[in-house]
Structure 1
Amino acid sequence: MSKRRQARLGDLERVIMDHLWGAGGSQTVRDVYTALAERREIAYTTVMTVLDRLAKKELVVRERDGRAWRYQPAQGRDALAAEIMDTALGVDAGERSAALVAFADRVTPEEAALLREALAAVEAAGDKPRTKR
């Protein structure tokens, strides 16, 4: 994650990202505005500003399409969630360990089983978890 990039999303940013993830392709500001305006009162310029902010955070990529920009997520929802979790765990090894223990204490038995399966799959594949910088 670059120093400029911040994975944390505000409420409207999350709504827009949810729309982009579900869209199945790149979207113009007009496309996003039209979809959102059906469910909530929102200004076109607000959508444009939020998409620009998401591009600056490197959460969406944009490309020119005539006079308009087309936006699409830079990564999938799961990858972003993992990045947010990784950031939240902290950089210091002690903080990271404590956060992982606290997290493990809060998961349901079903979630714990999923975590065990995921860890086993990573281990079986011979992948080593990357180290924190």
Structure 2
Amino acid sequence: MGNLGVLERLLMDVLWDSGESLPATDLRDRLLTPAAVAASKKPLATTTVLTVLSRLETKGFVTRDRDARPHRYRAVTTRAEHTAELMHEVLGSAPDRQAALARFIGNVSPAEAEALRHLLGTIRTNTPATNTSSTSTSTSTTLSRE
């Protein structure tokens, strides 16, 4: 799926936080916080929001309900699914996956390390121990669902 631009990320954050489908005007209004206006120096136009939503739809991040008036937009994946996909893309492009994983794991908090241990324990109990190649596939599938 790839990464998101600044406006794309802002709109996706609103959709992810809302957990529902929203029309473009509601998305724009939810972006009109004092901090957002101060950062952009001017409020976003609805046409700008619609353009960004169109790009997000083309990229597969949102779906549009064309039957609703005005059209409503909904996130296709959750924030966690998107984050997992980005992590898989980065890991997949690393020349040394094991070194990249070691570096990542070395920077997690104790609570995150405990969560990783729990997830790995869950994966081990759900995966046949005899086939190591299926373990890595199952691991990526299971982690992407979390």
Q: TM-score over 0.5 for the alignment?
A: yes
Q: Alignment partner of 1:90: what SS?
A: helix
> Residue 60 of structure 1: which of 42, 51, 62 is its match?
62
* Structure 1 portions without partners, runs of 5+: none
Q: Highest CA radius of gyration, 1 or 2?
A: 2
Choose between structure 1 and 2: higher helix proportion: 2
Write out aligned runs for 1:1-133 (5 A).
5-6=1-2, 8-39=3-34, 40=37, 41-66=43-68, 68-91=70-93, 94-126=95-127, 128-130=135-137
RMSD: 2.2
CA distance in 1 between counterparts of 2:68 and 2:76 reads: 21
Q: Alignment partner of 1:62: what SS?
A: strand
Q: Alignment partner of 2:106: what SS?
A: helix
CA distance in 1 between counterparts of 2:96 and 2:51 reads: 35
CA distance in 2 between counterparts of 1:68 and 1:129 reads: 45
Equivalent pairs counted in the alignment come to 126
Residue 12 of structure 2 aligns with an amino acid whose one-letter code is M
* Structure 2 portions without partners, runs of 5+: 38-42, 129-134, 141-146
Residue 14 of structure 2 aligns with an amino acid whose one-letter code is H
Please report how far the alpha carbon of residue 78 of structure 1 lies from its aligned counterpart in structure 2 after TM superposition: 0.8
Residue 16 of structure 1 aligns with an amino acid whose one-letter code is L
- Residues 66, 82 of structure 1: CA spacing in aligned structure 2 closer, same or farther, 3 A cutoff? closer
